[in-house]
């Protein structure tokens, strides 16, 4: 008798947890992604560089600033 009640409560709990997780994750996703996208579009921010370029590589060169060697010998 108690096992049947326990099983019913367990299945009800699993159902409730699935519904709550779906609702919470949907709200977090919509607020996080959708609002970030809207704010980015309002300010003209591009989060991905999607321009089609006819380059052979997507590598971007980075110029390291020249530093004095004494700085490396005396780090602390």
Q: Each residue of 18-65: pLDDT tens digit? A: 999 999 999 999 989 888 888 888 998 877 766 766 767 777 788 887
Residue 5 lies in a domain: yes
Report the number of distinct structural domains present in the chain.
1
Q: What is the pLDDT of residue 11?
A: 95
Residue 72: is it exposed, middle or buried by C-beta count within 10 angstroms (0-12/13-18/19+)? exposed
Residue 67 lies in a domain: no
Largest Cα separation within the chain, whole Å, is: 80
Residue 71 lies in a domain: no
Q: Is residue 2 very low, low, confident or very high in pLDDT (cuts 50, 70, 90)?
A: confident
Domain range holding 26? 1-47
Q: What is the pLDDT of residue 44?
A: 86
- Quick check: 12 pLDDT over 90? yes
């Amino acid at each position: 008798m108690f096992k049947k009640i326990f099983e019913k409560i367990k299945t009800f709990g699993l159902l409730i947890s699935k519904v709550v997780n779906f609702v919470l994750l949907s709200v977090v996703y919509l607020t996080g992604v959708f609002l970030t996208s809207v704010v980015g579009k309002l300010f003209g921010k591009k989060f991905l560089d999607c321009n089609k370029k006819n380059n052979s590589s997507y590598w971007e060169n980075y110029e390291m600033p020249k530093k004095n060697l004494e700085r490396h010998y005396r780090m602390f």
